Chains A and B, each alone.
Chain A
Amino acid sequence: GNSVTQMEGPVTLSEEAFLTINCTYTATGYPSLFWYVQYPGEGLQLLLKATKADDKGSNKGFEATYRKETTSFHLEKGSVQVSDSAVYFCALSDRSSASKIIFGSGTRLSIRP
Chain B
Amino acid sequence: GAVVSQHPSWVICKSGTSVKIECRSLDFQATTMFWYRQFPKQSLMLMATSNEGSKATYEQGVEKDKFLINHASLTLSTLTVTSAHPEDSSFYICSAAGGLAVHEQYFGPGTRLTVT
Contacts and interface: CB of A to CB of B under 8 A. Distances in A.
Contact of B110 (A32, A42, A93): A42
Contacts, number: 51
Size bracket, chain A contacts? 20 to 34
Size bracket, chain B contacts? 20 to 34
Interface stretch (A56-64, A73-81, A99-107): A99-107
Contacts of B106: 46
Contacts of A99: 32, 34, 97, 102-105
B43 A98 contact: no
A contact patch SS:
strand
A101 B32 CA distance: 13
Contacts of A32: 103
Given A42-B109, A46-B104, A98-B32, A106 B49 contact: no
Looking at B42, B43, B97, B108, the one whose CB has the most chain A CB atoms below 10 A away is: B43
Interface of B: 6, 32, 34, 41-44, 46, 49, 93, 95, 97, 102-110
Interface of A: 32, 36, 42-46, 49, 89, 93, 95, 98-106, 108
24 contacts: A42-B109, A42-B110, A43-B6, A43-B109, A44-B44, A44-B93, A44-B95, A44-B107, A46-B104, A46-B107, A49-B104, A89-B44, A93-B104, A98-B32, A98-B49, A99-B32, A99-B104, A100-B34, A100-B46, A101-B95, A102-B46, A103-B43, A105-B42, A106-B41
